[in-house]
Every structure is written in C-alpha cells, then in structure tokens.
Amino acid sequence: MDPEKRLGIILIIIGLVIPLLVLPFVSGFSREKGFYYNFYEAGIAIGKADRNDGASQPPTSEKGMTPKTRITWSGLMPKRIPFRFFLVPTVLLIYMGIIRIDRVRRRQQEH
C-alpha cells in the first residue's frame, strides 16, 4: 500500500475518533429540540457543576452600575466548550484524508 494512501486512511480514522472520544463528556442534548438547537447548545461543562453564576450575590451599586452591566471574572469564564469545536478538526482531517487518497488514485491512473 502506498504510504500516502495509508496516511490518508489514518487521517480519516483520527478524524472519526476525535468526536467519539469526546462524546461521553458532552451534555446539553435534548430529544425534544431540533438539530440546530442541539448543535449550538451541546458542550462539555467546565469547572464546578454546581456553579451558581453569581445569582446569589446581592446587587451592589458601584458608581451607578447595575449588576447586569458590571463585568466580573465569573462572567468572563466560559461555562462549557461547545461540541461543535470538536467537529471542526473532524471535518478537516476527513477532508485531508480524502484528498490524500484521491491524489494517490490520480497518480496511479497517470502511470
């Protein structure tokens, strides 16, 4: 087997394995919701599962700022890594693998 074709097959396999390895940690899927909702809302939760998102903090007024306009560190920290971020390398690796296999096939047809 041609080494470039072997590399293409390996890239495709790695591309398929990435989301399968991440899938057990993903939360946010809903059977009642549609495809786009699940695509945008599914992700891997980061940090504590019982994070209260600052809801228990009393509203304070510092120089006229309301709690909605005040920026806090807890508000800047991401709460989850979207699952779609793991699908991007999957698509790229599968595409690269197909291109490699196609290159080998074209090179064999020329000779």
Do the Cβ atoms of 84 and 56 come closer than 8 Å? Answer: no
Residue 31 host element (H or E): none
Q: What is the pLDDT of residue 86?
A: 92
What per-residue confidence (pLDDT) applies to 1? 81
Q: For the chain, which residues make up each domain, given as ranges?
A: 3-49+61-110
Q: List, as own/partner pairs, every contact residues 25-34 make where C-beta atoms lie below 8 angstroms and the sequence separation is at least 24, other chains included.
A: 26/83, 27/80, 28/80, 28/83
Write the single-letter amino acid at 108: Q
Q: What is the pLDDT of residue 94?
A: 96
pLDDT along the chain (111 residues), means of 10: 92 95 90 89 79 51 62 81 92 96 90 78
Question: What pLDDT score was predicted for residue 14?
Answer: 96
What is the value of pTM for the model shown?
0.69
At 103 the pLDDT is 93
d(CA 31, CA 46): 23
Write the CB contacts of 15 (distance below 8 Å, at least 6 apart in sequence).
89, 90, 91, 92, 93, 94, 97
pLDDT at 61: 55
